[in-house]
Amino acid sequence: MNMLSTATQTMSSRALLDVINNARAQNNEPEIRLNKFNEKIEDELDGDYCTKSVVQNPNNTESTIY
């Protein structure tokens, strides 16, 4: 009998934003800022499962990532 494995793959909101902004740059569109992207995430995932973390940036500021 074959055992099926269900592995969960995840990506941080910052990593996803990097992918999106790379695609936007290739199409001569402006980048989306992390704080604006997080607002969209919060609106779309309201009530859905995700984890929220605060990270320290190299410039001593903090950012929220999901």
Cα–Cα distance between 25 and 34 in angstroms, integer?
15
H or E element: which one contains 64? Answer: strand 62-65
The per-residue pLDDT string of the chain (66 residues; one tens digit each, 9 = 90 and over) reads 556 666 677 888 899 999 999 999 999 999 999 989 989 988 887 766 778 889 898 999 998 888
Cα–Cα distance between 15 and 20 in angstroms, integer?
9
